[in-house]
Chain A
Amino acid sequence: MAKQQLNRREFFSFLTVGWVAFTAATAGLLSLAFRFSYPNVNFEPEMEFLAGGPSEFEAGVDERYKNGFGVWMVKQDGKLFALSNICTHLGCIPSWMPAEKKFKCPCHGSGYYMSGINFEGPAPRPLERYKVSLTPEGKIRVDKTKVYRYEKGEWNNPNSFISV
């Protein structure tokens, strides 16, 4: 029996089919790997939220919005402001210690007063404050996309607090 041989045209069509199949398989695998690198559930807190009316807050630190949104609502000296809960040293989450009246970071021991000013440990600057405003219904809207930094003199900005 004569040996069946591929001619030039047939060889190239086989090669094309094979190459397309290989590319498709690789692309499929890569897209799966790419999808895998994204989380199925995202626990990122919302960047903007409503935090009740100003009358709901008593003087001192309010932790209601800390676990959901990463914000402490602090009422001090006639001002109500939204304090970021991200340590300015290396981004850990400090905890509020009511007995000592300070925020204390568990990672490197940075300490902040109720106002957010740093006083102990390695933190180089005070905690950041977020933009707060009143909605027409009298609720507080906290906007975390806009931050106010003390060392830049931004805490006097009227958007960084609500007078109560």
Chain B
Amino acid sequence: MKHFINIIADPIFSFPIFSLLFFAMIKWYRVVGTKKFAWIFLAISVPVTVWFLADPQFIKIILWPDNIPINILVILIVFLTWFPLYKAAENDKRLEQGLEPVEALPENREKVWAWPNLVYTELFAIIAGTIFLVVWAIIFKAPLEEPANPTWAPNPAKAPWYFLGLQEMLVYFDPWMAGVVLPGLIVVGLIAIPYLDTNPKGNGYYCFQDRKFAITGFLYGWLVLWIYLIIVGTFLRGPNWTFYGPFEYWDFHKVVAEYNVNLSEFLWLKWLNTSMPKNIFVREALGIALTFAYLIGLPFISLKTKFGKDLLEKVGTMRYYIVIFLVISMGSLPIKMVLRWLFSLKYIVALPEIELNL
């Protein structure tokens, strides 16, 4: 059983499984968003967690001082994902019956003064937060290491936990893409959301039916492409950034058969059986063409679908292209990951001569 879990925890399996679970959760959000489901989930997950914790290797990783915040985060994320779904399922049912959302009921529309109601709560939160941090600082020692040395790196070298998703992305991308372009697009995209979202519904109340695309798109990026990658980077990456299952000993010499090949090498050496062309742009022609098709062709192709037509009609031309561009940028990460796993594909466009690799 432990061996089986070690195998399916590998991103090659766990990423599709996690994605499928995510879409199942979205599809059956009315089942997930009930108190009954929450209690059953809790009743199952507690004994499973205890069983996991009984393993010496797993508990060693869990109790590593750097990893404590991520343990807390995982538990919080589970609850904070379930809670809005529960609220949304409740409201969607009311809206279907022609009732107003729970938040619009007279007893919930009552207004109170910021002082003392809000300020007291804030004061209490500050005190509780301070006590929590002080206790934490006393119990868990900061994992300080030796002085920085430019000719030596710890193994594994891990980023702070909140950047481990980015570090995991960097396994599949050039540093320019995963370190600058994609994080930049994430920040710009998040800032742009209020300007792109013209849907007046869902304002001030939880719902899902009225905001299917917005909620699904955001939650996929958040839960699968960010939180999941942080969990993988924290718990399942060991020495040499090699994957290790949750019960697997971190063997420094674990051998992973991995030989990555660029798309241009596939094209010229394998499929056409000739040598690589001298001109670097001819060499990468297929990759460049595919990239342009992906970035420029897809927005026009999606216009042909019902989803694209609806979106264009709702938000207008400019917003449509920005939304689609952000969505396909986000989609490039899972695409690149799957290509790496299936074909050991390194870069679609590989131009190390001019530091451009996609």
Contact = CB atoms under 8 A, between A and B. Distances in A.
A93 B253 contact: no
Interface stretch (A53-61, A74-82, A105-113, A155-163): A105-113
A9 to B, nearest CB: 54
Interface in B105-125: none
A120 B179 contact: no
Interface residues of B, number: 36
Interface stretch (A12-20, A26-34, A63-71, A134-142): A63-71
A100 B170 CA distance: 24
A143 B255 CA distance: 35
Interface stretch (B18-26, B33-41, B146-154): B146-154
Nearest to A111: B258
A69 B259 CA distance: 30
A92 B151 CA distance: 9
A100 B353 contact: no
A100 B171 contact: no
A52 interface: no
A133 interface: no
Contact of A108 (B147, B171, B256, B350): B171
Given A105-B240, A109-B241, A121-B260, A45 B151 contact: yes
Interface in B160-213: 167, 170-175, 179
B241 A106 contact: yes
A69 B150 CA distance: 9
Contacts of B171: 108-109, 121-122
A90 interface: yes
Contacts, number: 92
Contacts of B258: 109, 111, 120-121
Contact of A125 (B173, B179, B352): B352
B352 A108 contact: no
Contacts of B67: none
Contacts of B350: 124
Contacts of B253: 97, 99-100
A132 B225 CA distance: 45
B260 to A, nearest CB: 6
A104 interface: yes
B357 A124 contact: yes
B153 A107 contact: yes
Given A100-B253, A107-B241, A89 B151 contact: no
Nearest to A70: B151
B170 A104 contact: no
Nearest to B242: A109
A122 B240 contact: no
B157 interface: yes
Contact of B149 (A43, A92, A104, A151): A43
Contacts of B357: 124
Contacts of A108: 167, 170-171, 241
Interface string B128-154: 000000000000000000011111111
Nearest to B262: A124
B221 interface: no
Contact of A151 (B150, B156, B239, B353): B353
A43 B155 contact: no
A3 interface: no
A44 interface: yes
Interface in B205-244: 239-242
A22 interface: no
Given A92-B153, A105-B241, A122 B346 contact: yes
Contacts of A106: 153-157, 239-241
A95 B239 CA distance: 11
Contact of B150 (A45, A99, A121, A122): A45
Contacts of B175: 89-90
14 contacts: A67-B149, A70-B151, A88-B352, A90-B175, A92-B153, A93-B152, A97-B253, A106-B156, A106-B239, A106-B240, A106-B241, A107-B157, A119-B259, A121-B260
Given A43-B149, A66-B151, A121-B258, 12 more contacts: A43-B147, A45-B151, A93-B150, A93-B153, A94-B153, A100-B253, A107-B170, A108-B241, A120-B256, A121-B171, A122-B260, A152-B353
